[in-house]
Chain A
Amino acid sequence: MENKDKILIIDDEEVVLESCTEILATSNYQLATAMNGDKGLKLMKDFQPDLIFLDLKMPGISGFEVLEQICAYDPTLVTVVITGYATIHSAVEAMKKGAYDFLPKPFTPEELRLITRRGLEKRRLVLDTIALKKEKEMLREHFATIVSHELKAPLNAVQQNLFALSAELSDKLTDDQNQLMNRMKIRIDDLLKLIHTWLRVFTVDIEKIKENFTKISLKDIITKAIESVQPHATRKDISILTSGKEVQSYIHGDEVTLVEALVNILNNAIKFSRLQSKILVSTETKDDEILISINDSGVGISKEDLPFIFGYYYIGRSSQTSERGSGIGLAITKRIIEAHDGSISVDSELGKGSIFTILLPIVKSKSHNQSTKKSEVYSNSQKGVAK
Chain B
Amino acid sequence: MSQSKIILIIDDDPDFVDGLKSILKKANYTVDAAYNPKDGFQALQSKRYDLLLLDIMMGRGAEGIMLARKLNKDPKLREIPVLIITGIREQMAFLFPGQAVHPHLLPVDELVEKPVEPKLLLEKVSTLLKTAETRKAQTKK
Contacts and interface: CB of A to CB of B under 8 A. Distances in A.
A214 to B, nearest CB: 10
A144 B91 contact: yes
B107 interface: no
Given A157-B19, A164-B23, A152 B87 contact: yes
Interface string A149-191: 1001110111111111101100000000000000000000000
Contacts of B61: 145
Given A148-B87, A148-B88, A164-B23, A156 B118 contact: no
Contacts of B23: 163-164, 167
Contacts of B15: 154, 157-158, 160-161
B103 to A, nearest CB: 16
Nearest to B120: A163
A204 interface: yes
Contacts of A154: 15
B116 interface: yes
A153 B114 CA distance: 9
A163 B24 CA distance: 12
B2 to A, nearest CB: 24
Nearest to A189: B115
Nearest to B26: A168
A160 B19 contact: yes
A148 to B, nearest CB: 5
B90 A212 contact: no
B87 A156 contact: yes
A162 B117 CA distance: 10
A163 B13 contact: no
Contact of B115 (A145, A163, A199): A163
A133 interface: no
B127 interface: no
B19 A212 contact: no
A185 to B, nearest CB: 9
23 contacts: A144-B88, A144-B94, A145-B61, A148-B87, A149-B57, A152-B114, A156-B114, A157-B13, A157-B16, A157-B19, A159-B115, A160-B16, A160-B115, A161-B15, A161-B18, A163-B117, A163-B118, A164-B20, A167-B118, A199-B88, A199-B90, A203-B90, A212-B98
B4 interface: no
* Secondary structure type dominating chain A contacts: helix
A199 B116 CA distance: 20
Interface residues of A, number: 26
Given A160-B115, A161-B19, A168-B26, A152 B88 contact: yes
A200 interface: yes
Interface in B80-108: 87-88, 90-91, 94, 97-98
Interface string A184-218: 00000000100010011001100000001000000
Please provide the 9 A-B residue pairs with the shortest distance between their CB atoms, ordered closest to farther.
Answer: A160-B19, A157-B15, A159-B115, A161-B19, A164-B22, A157-B16, A167-B118, A160-B115, A156-B114
Contacts of A163: 19, 23, 115-118
A149 B118 CA distance: 23
Contacts of A158: 15
A152 B115 CA distance: 10
A379 B88 CA distance: 31
A165 B117 CA distance: 11
A157 B115 CA distance: 7
Contact of B57 (A148, A164, A165): A148
Interface in B105-126: 114-118
A168 B118 CA distance: 10
A92 B20 CA distance: 71
A156 to B, nearest CB: 4
Given A199-B88, A200-B90, A212-B97, 16 more contacts: A145-B61, A148-B87, A153-B13, A153-B16, A156-B13, A157-B19, A160-B19, A160-B115, A160-B116, A163-B116, A163-B118, A164-B22, A167-B23, A168-B22, A196-B90, A212-B98
Given A167-B26, A212-B98, A160 B90 contact: no
